[in-house]
Structure 1
Amino acid sequence: MQTIFNVIVPIFSLIVIGFVFAKARLLSEATGEALARFVFVVAVPVLLFRTLATAQFGDVNPLALWAAYFGAVAIVWTAGTLLVRALSDADRRTGAIAGIAASFANTIFIAIPTLQRAYGDAGLEPLLVIVSIHLPVMMIVSTLVIERAAMLDARETDGAPPVAVSLAATMRRVLRNLATNAIVIGILAGLAWRGTGLQLEAHIDEVTGLLGSTAGPLALFSLGMSLTRYGLRGELVSSFVVATLSLLVMPAIVYALASQFGLPPLWLKGAVLTAAAPAGVNAYLFAVHFRSGEKLASSTIFVSTVLSAVSLSVWLTILG
């Protein structure tokens, strides 16, 4: 219990401190956005590069890890969409946003610092395997699902014939965004360096280590600052349902599937804690872009982040 206390309390203390600084206007909203951008553009890509370049993955089959994680994503996404539509009579776009919020975990701001504090750098290895395809898969599927939902909603609203979603155009747009994404670049650079078989020179290792070590603290602090923008904006029943799916149901499914597939203990723990991270900001970004489900996405981010202080403690207790 003391170990769990030592992992969880520092993490959520930094979130609370960031929230207080933003709420008291000791730091501006622009400062929080700048910190978050530094995390996304510099700290996390460097951390991913360094870890991928030096990690020892052994003979573990990544297909089993991906199957366990994304199998859970498919189940929880479907459940979130159907439950929210049944509870609130929401349209298809809002249902799709609910599915994204339930299954698109906050791997950067919560999962990375949690795994690092709990299991050290070795704990990041399963997360890296997941993240290597997580962003492309989730972005492409999310875009296609919401655009199809928007098309069907428009047909029901005005009776107009549906406009077919261009798969090629959607793929080009998403892939163009991914090609300029710093996290994707960090992953590819780490894999490329690893492919050379070269060791990181001492000064490169030290510089990347120093930059990478800022990822966790700054991610948590900037996340706390961002919570002042989200907060509770209605759709509370749906938000709690989606948060429950995100924090409890999805990691439980990952745990069951990963155990069935025989993943090594550390990879099982990494997969479960990644799945147990609260809803990420991408759900809100999709909601704003497609002008649907903004209140649901905002409330879910806030509720799931607050409740994850308890749920992550529970999962750490179960996992050991």
Structure 2
Amino acid sequence: MSAIALNVFPIFILILLGWIIVKTGVLNADVGDALGDFVFKIAVPFLLFNTIYQADFHGASPFRLWIAYFSGVAITWTLGHLIATTFFGRDARVGVLAGVSSAFANNVFIGLPLVGRTVGDEGIVALSILLAVHLPLMMVIGTVLMENAERKVGGGPSRGLGTILRQIAANLVKNPLIIGLAAGLLVHVSGVPLPQVVSGVVEQIAGIAAPAALISLGMALNKYGISGNLGIASATSFLKLFVLPACVWAACQLLELSPSWTSALVLTSAVPTGINAWLIANRFGVGHGLAASTITLTTAAGVFSVTFWAWLLG
């Protein structure tokens, strides 16, 4: 357990450090936003590029990995939606947001550093394969479902699936994570080695990604907090931290994924809810309190849930 703690605790200590930096006024939240932009647009794309460029896939197919992870997402998302609409009596829009909050893991800012520390390079490869489709798929599903819920609740016109897909595709083409993954795959397939100087620069920038991501996330957490919705937020937090990783673990066993890929998928599914839940709430103007409360609760409890799953995985 002590070895697990040494891998897991520093992740959350860096998040706490970022939170303290803003809370005590050493730096303001705007600096955290700028650091987050650097992480998302520069550091993490370089990390993904470097990982895919150097990866040895051993001829492995990504489809079992995607099926294992997204089957867990589908189950957890559905449960979150049903709990919000049936047990708590919320409308369909809040139901969609509850599903998003229950199933959208912070794979970039916490998942990557955590998997890198606990699983190593093979785990990063597995997570990179997941990230290639995670954001596009989750945003498409979340947006389409929320559009339908808006129409049911408010009776507004539908934009149509084609319009939604074109808008999301246009955004994804410019997404730095997708660019980093695609560039890494292109260089990997070409077989042309990077010059030593270029490779050294790439590795140095990639090395910044993990600590900078965690500190910037901690700085951003000052925007959230718990604003009502404690009952439903507690339910979505439990789904996120325990039900989702349990479903992913079961799917990995059924599909016979390797131990390293299983560990990577389970651990990244056990991390706190990503800020994408807040972004969707902002986009549609509903469920801000639920999204903020779930992000805060899962981040506060994440150190315990991640430690539990890391111990269970051995």
Query: Per the shorter chain, which TM-score range?
Result: over 0.9
Contact 1:87 1:238 (C-alpha < 8 Å) held by counterparts? no
Cα distance per residue 1:205-253 (max 9 Å; x no partner): 2111110111110111011111110011110111111011111001101
Q: 2:186 aligns with which of 187, 192, 195?
A: 192
1:54–1:199 contact (8 Å) kept in structure 2: no
Q: Report the secondary structure of 1:213's partner residue.
A: helix
Number of aligned residues: 314
Tell me which residue corresponds to 1:152. Answer: 152
Paired residues of 2:44 and 2:177 also in contact (CA < 8 A)? yes
One-letter code aligned to 2:47: L
Q: TM-score, normalised by structure 2?
A: 0.98
CA distance in 2 between partners of 1:166 and 1:121 (Å): 41
* 2:238 equivalent among 241, 244, 253: 244
Offset at 1:119?
Answer: 2.1
Does structure 1 residue 105 correspond to structure 2 residue 105?
A: yes
**Counterpart in the other structure of 2:157:** 163
Question: What SS is found at the alignment partner of 2:118?
Answer: helix
Alignment partners' CA distance in 1, 2:194 and 2:7: 29
1:53-101 per-position Cα deviation (integer Å, ceiling 9, x unaligned): 1111113221111111011111111100110122332111111011011
- State the distance in 2 between where 1:39 and 1:179 align: 18
TM-score (norm 1): 0.96
Q: Percent sequence identity over matched residues?
A: 38
Deviation of 1:102 after TM superposition, in Å, equals 0.8
Extract structure 1 runs of 4+ deviating beyond 4 A.
none
Matches within 5 A, 1:210-249: 210-249=204-243
- 2:176: which partner in 1? 182
Question: d(CA) in 1 for partners of 2:307 and 2:313?
Answer: 10
- Conservation of the 8 A alpha-carbon contact between 1:32 and 1:225: yes
CA distance in 2, matches of 1:305, 1:60: 33
Query: 2:81 maps to what in 1?
Result: 81
Gaps of 5+ in 2: none
Of the structure 1 ranges 24-33 and 114-123, higher mean CA displacement relative to structure 2 is found in: 114-123
8 Å Cα contact 1:247/1:308 also seen in 2: yes
8 Å Cα contact 1:269/1:319 also seen in 2: yes
Is the 2:72–2:248 Cα contact (8 Å) retained in structure 1? Answer: yes
For 1:217-296, list aligned pairs within 5 A. 217-296=211-290
Contact 1:242–1:300 at 8 Å: present in 2 too?
yes
**1:35 maps to amino acid:** L
Q: Does 1:314 align with 2:314?
A: no
Q: Does structure 2 conserve the Cα–Cα contact (< 8 Å) formed by 1:148 and 1:165?
A: no
Query: Secondary structure of the residue that 1:25 maps to in structure 2?
Result: coil
Q: Distance in 1 between matches of 2:244 and 2:237?
A: 10
Where does structure 1 lack aligned partners over 5 or more consecutive residues?
156-161
Residue equivalent to 1:301: 295
* Counterpart amino acid of residue 188 in structure 1: A
Deviates more, 1:254-263 or 1:190-199: 190-199
- 1:147-187 CA-partner distances (Å, limit 9, x unpaired): 111011113xxxxxx52331111111111111111111111
CA separation in 2, counterparts of 1:255 and 1:184? 26
Residue 28 in structure 1 maps to residue 28 in structure 2: yes
CA contact (8 A) 1:136 1:178 kept: yes
- Distance in 2 (CA, whole Å) between partners of 1:315 and 1:199 is 38
